[in-house]
Structure 1
C-alpha cells in the first residue's frame, strides 16, 4: 500500500498554474518580497514537493496558490479557473471548497467530533450532500475503517493525520496542498502518510503540492521545486533523498554568497 512508486491512471491537463506571482509585505520603505515573480505549471496527477531555506517563500507560495492569501501581483489558476479577488472572502472560500484540499502539520481536527464527522465536515460546510458511505470508503482506504466513531484524542498522531488526509480527499479536490504534513510525526507514521499522498496521486488522479524541509519526504514526490529569496531557483525530477539533500546544501551556500555580495 505504501510503495515508493505505483502504477496508475495517467492524467492530462494542468492542475495548477502561477503567472508572475509576487507577494509583498510591509509598508513603503520597509517592503519585503516574499515571492518575487514566481511562474510555474503543474500537470494533473502529479506529486510536487517545494523546498528551500527558511524565509525562502515556501509557505507564502502555498498560501497564494491555495487561495489562503492574495498575491500582490500575478495570477493563479486551479484546474483552469482563475483565483480572483472579485467577490471577497466568500467567493474565495467557495473556490477553495470546490477545487482544493488541505493537509496541515497539526492535523486541525475538531476534538469533539468523531472521525467520520471530521471527514464529512467539509461537505457540510460546502452545502453538499453528506455521503457517509463514501466517507467510510475513504477512511477504509487510509486504514481507519475500524475507527469511524473514535474521537481524535483516541488516535495516535499518525492516525489523526490519516483522518486529515481522508478529510482532504472526500470532496475530490483537484489539488491537495500539504504544509509540512509529516512534520509532527515519527518516522514510521510519516512514511505511511507519504505513501497515502502518493497513492492519492497514482491511483486516484489527485494532484499534490507539499511544502517540506525533509529530503526523505521530498523523495516521495515526482519532482521538487527549490525556492530561494522568493524565486524559483531549481527543479529536480525523480528525486532521491540524497540528491535533494545535496541540492539543498549547495542552495544554502548559493543564497549566502548572494546575500554577502549584495551586502545583506
Structure 2
C-alpha cells in the first residue's frame, strides 16, 4: 500500500478500516477572525468497533463527526469511509453514498410527526429509491422492542421509544458505519441504558462500526475505546474505559486545557 493511501477492501470483502481521517483540518471564518475547529486530525477505526469521542466544550467533537460523516467538508485532509474517499463527489453523489453506507442517530430524534413508527423507519429506503422490505423493517423494530408499536405516531411514544425508532431507522438500511451524536442526552437513565445496549448489539451482533460523540462518562464506558479531543486535536486514547476512569481523564483534560488557555492569554 502506498504511503498516504487508505486501506482498500480485499477482493470481495469489506474494508478492514471502517473510517480513516488523514490530516483533517477544519477552519471557520475569515483569516482575521478564524476559528480552527479541527487541527490535523488523523485516525483509523477498524470495522466492528465502538468508539466514543469526548472532550471539553469547543474541542471539536461535533465538527469531527460532521466531517467524518460527509455532512461538512474539511478545509484540508482526506476522509475515507469503508475504504472509499469522500472527496471529489458532487452533492447528489455524496448524498447517495451516505444513504448506502452511513447511518445517523442524534440527540434530537428527527422523526416526522405525521408518519408512523414503521413509516419513519423505512423512510431512508424510500428516499434512496431502494426496495422497502417491510418484513425486515418489522424485524428490526422487534429487535429494538417496538414490535407492538408499528402504527403509533412519535407523539404517542416516550423519549426512549422515539430514540429506539431513530436507531431502527439507522439500522434498516444496513450501513457499515453508524454515527451517534449525544444519543442519550435527552433520555432518562433507564432509556439511555437501553439505547446504549442497542448500539453495542449493532456492533457485536451485526458487525457495524459505531462512532459516538458524548459528554457522559457512563455512556462512554459502553464503548470499546475513547478518543479525547482538545482544541481540535486528538490528545489521548483509552481502551476498555470505565465511567470512573473516563471521568478522571476528562477532569484532568479540562484542567490542562484551562491552564494552557490561561498561559496563552
TM over 0.5: yes
Alignment of 1:199-218 (within 5 A): 199-218=201-220
Show the 5 A alignment for 1:68-83: 68-83=71-86
2:19 paired residue among 16, 23, 30: 16
Q: TM-score, normalised by structure 1?
A: 0.94
**Residue 199 of structure 2, aligned match among 179, 197, 200:** 197
User: C-alpha separation between the residues in 1 aligned to 2:237 and 2:261?
Assistant: 22
Please give the alpha-carbon distance, in whole angstroms, between the structure 2 residues aligned to 1:57 and 1:123. 31
* Root-mean-square deviation (Å): 1.0
**Cα distance in 2 for residues equivalent to 1:14 and 1:136:** 30
Flag structure 1 segments of 5+ consecutive residues without an equivalent: 1-10
Aligned to 1:240: 242
How much does 1:86 deviate?
A: 3.3
Query: Given the alignment of the two structures, is residue 111 of structure 1 paired with residue 98 of structure 2, yes or no?
Result: no
Shift of 1:256: 1.1
Q: Which runs of 4+ in 1 moved over 6 A?
A: none
SS at match of 1:29: helix
Following the alignment from structure 1 to structure 2, what is the Cα–Cα distance between the partners of residues 210 and 86? 25
Aligned residues: 252
1:18 aligned counterpart, secondary structure: strand
Which of the residues 250, 253, 264 maps onto 1:251?
253
Contact 2:15–2:82 under 8 Å retained in 1: no
Instruction: Determine the C-alpha separation between the residues in 1 that align with 2:89 and 2:187.
Output: 39
TM score, norm. by length of structure 2: 0.94
* Structure 2: gaps (5+ residues): 1-13
For 1:212 and 1:170, locate their aligned partners in 2 and report how far apart those are by CA, in whole Å: 23
Is the CA contact 2:15–2:83 (under 8 Å) kept in the aligned structure 1?
Answer: no
Aligned to 2:176: 174
Contact 2:28-2:36 within 8 A present in 1 as well: yes
